[in-house]
Amino acid sequence: MDKSFQVVVIYILTHLGLIFFIYPRSIIASTDEGHWIPIMIGVFLHFIIIAIYMKGLSYFPNKDLITIYLGIGKGVAFIFLLPVTLYFLMINIITVRAYSEIITIVFLSKTPLWAIMALLLFVSTYLAAKGVEAIFRNGVLLASIFLPFIIFIFCVSFQNVDWHYVFPIMDKQFSFFKESAYFNSFFAVGGGFLFLGFVQPYLSYQRKKILIAAIALIPCFIFSVYIPILTFGQATASTFLFPFVMAVDTINLNWLMFDRVTMFFLLSLIIFIMIFISLVLWKTVRILNTCFPSIKPIYLLITLSLFIFIICLMTPNWKDVERLFAWNTFLRFYIIFAVPISVYYFGIRLRRAG
């Protein structure tokens, strides 16, 4: 049965949760002008990679990424699935620690950081334990409730923009390639598409609808960066830890009964992030369960969540979070390129072999 709608919704939700927080700061910090150039390079790469990835997956109907690699050989499975597992582990550690910090800074300043991390992990672990179908069903339900808030706030965030700040529009030297902050931005570009290779045995989907969803996300990538710049200017926006959140905080709607729309915006995105964390946890447990079939998945999930929580507790400040981003750069690009290209290559080879 075609479940394209559910897959598209989860694809959009997970990327929205990744785009609006850390991504704007990384792009703004990477260059002083022509921000659309590094944005579009990342977006174009994202579009190409998921197209290659889904084309390769189409050669293996009803098979997930684990089965595909194991079908080629245990050596191949080890070469690709070990980095994928480490990448998922790093993603969860960075996401839980970073977004707990965001919650603390913005609206729960008196709540201990460990309590926020525990709450994020508890909810995400519970969802992951229920399985991928439950994650997707809950994702669709939450999208129907919170996505209208995101769209509304995204539209009204243009309230205080000054279009003169769009200039200069060209960075002729492409200086952003020299900045590590730009490569950190690929956390949002390449962090959420791998689940397409894990849900094939459970949920079928149409490739063209995923590509349409990827196109629909392009304005989010662009304006998540440009709204803070057009509101504050490059010099001021570059000083903020979360530029888009600060831009949303300047919105003033007299006819709205609530004083701060920022609260609704942040709560919506945090909920989307919990969906993302639960999905990554589920994928990681799927790989670990293949390696340790004698251990029940629920025990692997609990152990994994406790390990992530301990590592997050050992990450005391934001500089350590940024250090984790830097350490994860090589692994991130290996996954972004190696997994889609390898799946496509093995699919082509299988097709030629008949």
In a domain, 88, yes or no: yes
- Domain membership of residue 250 as a residue range: 4-342
Strand partners, 204: 2
Per the listing, tokens 């090589």 go with 330
- Give the residue among 189, 225, 207 at the shortest CA–CA distance from 59: 207
In a domain, 53, yes or no: yes
In a domain, 348, yes or no: no
How many separate domains does the chain show? 1
The pLDDT tens digits along the chain (354 residues) read: 677 888 888 998 888 888 888 888 888 888 888 888 889 998 999 999 999 999 988 888 888 888 889 888 888 888 888 999 999 998 889 888 888 888 887 777 788 888 889 989 999 999 999 888 888 988 889 888 888 888 888 888 888 888 888 887 877 777 888 888 888 888 888 767 888 888 887 888 888 888 898 898 898 899 889 999 988 888 888 888 888 888 887 777 766 655 566 777 888 888 888 999 999 999 999 999 988 888 898 999 999 999 999 998 888 887 888 888 878 888 888 888 989 999 999 989 888 876
Q: CA–CA distance from 68 to each of 33, 195, 344, 346 (Å)?
A: 43, 14, 11, 9
In a domain, 216, yes or no: yes
Question: Is the CB of residue 12 less than 8 Å from the CB of residue 213?
Answer: yes
In a domain, 347, yes or no: no
Its pTM stands at 0.92
In a domain, 351, yes or no: no
- Give the residue among 354, 340, 353 at the shortest CA–CA distance from 68: 340
User: What is the CATH classification number for the domain harbouring 320?
Assistant: 1.10.4160.10
In a domain, 352, yes or no: no
In a domain, 237, yes or no: yes
CA–CA separation, 309 and 94 (whole Å): 11
